[in-house]
Structure 1
Amino acid sequence: RSHHERYDGSGYPDGLKGDEIPIGARILAVTDVYDALTTDRAYRRAWSRNETMLYLQKHMGSHFDPHVVSAFLRILRQEDERTAAMINGPMARIDGASTSVG
């Protein structure tokens, strides 16, 4: 019910503000907008991850709880770092395996 409330009190249905908005709704507001913006729609293309992250940052404190946005962005960046480490890291090695053919 409350995930359309805005942190500054300008949302709906009850005009809740800041900590008056249940924490679950504050989290859902961020993840719902992230999902909506990064998904293709019939009326527009999906935004890139970077565009969406910038949008969330821009609206910290007005639309969204700044602590929730900061935590969410930190998780996304950690995910990016783990993915990069897996892609760029050393190849797995099996001891005793031979690489020669024949």
Structure 2
Amino acid sequence: MKFENRTRGQGQILTIIRNHGTITQKDLVHQLDMRPQSASERIRKLEKKEYITRENSEADKRVMNIHLTNRGKIVAQQNDDFRPIVLDALTH
């Protein structure tokens, strides 16, 4: 599955996580600039699709770390592969 727009919705979340490797849920919500409830719903959907996992931090059990799964890495990479093709078509 490819996300048509990497700057919005679930595609944006995958891109942010991929760029950070591991990110806390709090930091992700801050970067998304949206209400925590809205972000949590999108995060749950990505987790249900097995694109991400959430784990409690070893250092602080109150902190939730988010990682891409192998499946999520593939989807995030496909998004990168898709973008240059579109841009290339626009320049020719």
Which TM-score applies when normalising by structure 2? 0.33
Larger relative contact order, structure 1 or 2 (CA cutoff 8 Å, min sep 6): 2
Which TM-score applies when normalising by structure 1? 0.31
Bigger share in helix: 2
> Larger C-alpha radius of gyration, 1 or 2?
1
